[in-house]
Chains A and B, each alone.
Chain A
């Protein structure tokens, strides 16, 4: 959740790589792929929920970035620019897969689910340790997949990838308040859904009415 405002040595190094790649240095571009392929794959998987689509997104996003390097001005970080390309590619895949025109990050999601907490039983200490790694992975995947795309994308960029609110807004073409509102609802919905796996057994059903 921290934002490093000043340009680090790595960023200068990255700019040098981008400049070299712009001049056709494939080794330099290959290094950029090495730096970010894992992140792009994760983001693509979170949006598409489909490994084949995520693989396509990784390939298409890097290829598009390479083909359009001349347009990268260096005003933002290369990674921010790359993620924006990848998010668009992933949303296109999702639309195709669902055969819908409406999958969009700025769609107003009409659900109030999770905005008002109902599960208020405390969780067991380190509740994730009650599950094996693979079972925990299944729970976390199933839970986040239930969120609308606009929510889970914001959650992944902000809380999993650790980008700032401003960077997330820039990547997704959303306003800062829109990112904040989606983030809050995403966090609360995930919490609500995880509660059934993680809540402490001694607390009863933990349901309540809000005041």
Chain B
């Protein structure tokens, strides 16, 4: 297996959605290819860092304000309800 072939399967490899035989081929490649091993590990780390560090949290004060605005608009809006 070449590095480019490994890369094509990287997303499925990280998501654990490969068949046993394809996974075994990729593991074999990782065993001897240090560079793909680094790419795989650092890609995994990239995903973990973005997942564990939420960069766009909604501040509580803004959240309350938005919630009130939404409910006020809903109250004065024609609803999608089936029956009044």
| A residues in contact (CB < 8 Å) with B | 1, 21-24, 26, 29-30, 33-34, 37-38, 41-42, 45-46, 54-55, 58-59, 62-63, 66-72, 115-117, 119-123, 127-128, 133, 136-137, 140-141, 144, 155, 159-160, 162, 165, 180, 183-184, 187-188, 190-191, 194-195, 198, 208, 210-211
Determine if A1 and B15 form an interchain contact, defined as CB atoms under 8 angstroms apart: yes
In the bound complex, how far is the Cα of B50 from the Cα of A125, in angstroms? 16
* Chain B residues closer than 8 Å to A191, beta-carbon distance: 39, 42-43, 46
How many residue pairs link A and B with beta carbons under 8 A? The number is 146
Complexed CA–CA distance, A115 and B39 (Å): 11
As a 0/1 sequence over residues 14 to 26 of chain B, the CB contacts with chain A under 8 angstroms (1 = contact) are 1110000000000
A55 to B63 Cα, complex, angstroms: 9
| B51 at the A interface (CB under 8 A) | yes
Contact B81 A63 (CB under 8 A): no
Q: Whose C-beta in chain B lies nearest to the C-beta of A190?
A: B46
Number of B residues contacting the other chain (C-beta, 8 Å)? 47
Closest to A164 in B: B15
Interface residues of B in 9-66 (CB under 8 A from A): 10-12, 14-16, 35, 38-39, 41-43, 45-47, 49-51, 53-58, 62-63, 66
Determine the main DSSP class of B at the interface with A.
helix
Give the chain B neighbours of A121 by CB distance below 8 A. 38
B75: chain A residues at CB < 8 Å are 26
Are A41 and B81 in contact, with the CB atoms below 8 A? no
- Let me know if B70 and A210 touch, CB within 8 A: no
9 contacts between A and B (CB under 8 A): A22-B82, A29-B71, A37-B63, A62-B74, A70-B82, A120-B35, A123-B45, A155-B50, A188-B7
A41 and B58: CB pair below 8 A?
Answer: yes
A184 x B46 contact (CB < 8 A): no
**A68 CA / B77 CA spacing, docked (Å):** 11
- With both chains docked as a complex, state the minimum distance between the C-beta of A105 and any C-beta of chain B, in angstroms: 18
Contact residues in B for A198 (Cβ distance below 8 Å): 42, 45
Known: A59-B66, A160-B50. A69 touches B71 (CB 8 A): no
Please tell me if the beta carbons of B67 and A33 are within 8 angstroms of each other in the complex: yes
> In the complex the two chains form, is B7's CB within 8 Å of A59's CB?
no
Partner of B55, one of A21, A140, A190: A140
- Does B39 lie within 8 Å of A62, measured CB to CB? no
